[in-house]
Amino acid sequence: MSKGKFFLVFVIALTLVIVLNSCGGQKTEPSAQKTTTTAPVEEPKKETPPETGPAPSAQPSAPKVEVASPVAGGKPKIVCDEPEYDFGEKRNDEKIEHEFIVKNSGDGLLLINSVKTTCGCTVAQPEKKELQPNESTKIKATLTLANRQGPQTKNITVESNDPENPVLTLTIKGVATAPIIIEPRTINLGTSIIDDLVEEKIVEVKGNIPDFSFNITNVDMSSLPQFKAEVETVEPGKNYKVKLIQTEKIEPGTTLSKSFTIETDASLPGKDEKDPSVSFLRKIPVSVYGRFIAEVDVSPEVISIRSNNEDPEAKTQQYLRIKEGREKGLKITEVVSPTPDIQVELTERAPGDYLLLVKNIPMNNSIKDKEIIVKTTSATKPEVKIPFKVIDIPNLPTRPGNVMKGNIKPNSQGPQLPSIKIPPKNQLPKPPPPPQQQAPENKPSETKQ
């Protein structure tokens, strides 16, 4: 009996285990369903980053595009934060180089048309001639101080399409220090000299840098035979005086424009005799100007006319001034013109002072070797003859307007070019249709292939 009961208990227990296991599997199915239902909730989170991602990246780039491109109808504005450069004090054997930064602070496209500079300074063209808003470029300027002394100021003009400031001025300034100072560099004897001999003039020659000495070895006066030079030593090796003394009478009516040369034995450390800065110190020119008026003072003494090879009928006019010089009480009685076409208007500005307006002067060689004769009451100069001088400068046919008008004329001094004539508009051949009209017909066939 005990074995039967034991077997019965075992069967019952096994049945209960099977039932419990089957119930446990059914309970796990709802939990699996819950996990599958939560998966669709997480899918929108994965889709949101692609939708919101491009928006932040597109917003920062948009302002950059607007700033870089000129606004339609915007105005350019050219500026330079430092338009003036002061190089201070430099020796005149040095070279000054500087870069100006030019910027477009407007909202339109800036176009730099030209960059020009005054004499003695060179300038390189800007790296860019078209500047977008907020864009900048460099303009490099070079100033050579050779043979210069004292304060220096050079201007650079930048022309652009800025409507409010079409011309921007840049400035380089400073002081050029010469090893040898010459004062004055130009001797002005006077513009209305009546005396036969002028007073002596003095030129000071001084050393200007430490540990520098020189001697004046000679003064070349070959171009001024009416003068002599005397050298006085103030301080050996440092300071000298050159006296200019007139020794001969100069013909009245002479305009003197010459120079003499002060020769020295100067040298510069590290530079040989062939260096331009040393060569200048060895031979220093000094200019001399003076106007010795005659009995009748005429200005100008020659009527200079530039020939016009493009227009043989071109005419011009010029003023003359005739006044009493060494002889007082001047009166003009008659003016004789070289041709009937040339007219002269005479105006007495003050007693003994006349202004002549010469009109209808032909700008060609027909006036060459002719002269105006002015008759006066002067005992020593009853007739004043004023000649014409024709300056023949060939006109090169480079302007487009001359080509289009067909009025280019052969130049005897250069290559002869045939004249070009354009027929009337109604006789011009019609241009062929542009190739763009045929392009749409070929493109579809090409893409199909």
Using a 10 angstrom Cβ sphere, with 0-12 exposed, 13-18 middle and 19 or more buried, the burial of residue 304 is exposed
CB proximity list for 392: less than 8 A, separation 6 or greater: 307, 309, 365, 413
User: Residue 147 and residue 119: Cα distance in Å, rounded?
Assistant: 14
How confident is the model at residue 146, as a pLDDT? 76
Structural domains of the chain ordered from first start: 78-177 (2.60.40.10), 180-292 (2.60.40.10), 296-391 (2.60.40.10)
This prediction's pTM: 0.56
How confident is the model at residue 92, as a pLDDT? 80
Encoded tokens for 152: 């220096």
- Mean pLDDT by groups of 10 residues along the chain of 449 residues: 60 61 46 40 45 45 45 84 92 86 94 86 86 93 82 92 93 90 92 88 91 93 96 95 95 91 90 82 93 90 87 91 91 93 93 94 90 92 92 57 37 39 46 44 40
How confident is the model at residue 11, as a pLDDT? 61
DSSP assignments along 377-427, one per residue: S-SS-SEEEEEEEEE--------HHHHHHT-----TTS-------PPPGGG
Q: What's the angle, vertex CA 181, arms to CA 175 and CA 182, rounded to 5?
A: 120
User: Residue 438 and residue 441: Cα distance in Å, rounded?
Assistant: 6
Q: What crossing angle do the helices spanning 2-52 and 54-68 adopt, rounded to 10°?
A: 10
Encoded tokens for 126: 């800007």
How confident is the model at residue 61, as a pLDDT? 46
Question: CB–CB of 285/261 below 8 Å?
Answer: yes
> What SS3 class is residue 225?
coil
364: nearest Cα among 302, 309, 407, 303: 309
How confident is the model at residue 287, as a pLDDT? 95
> What SS3 class is residue 324?
strand
Largest Cα–Cα separation, the chain: 185
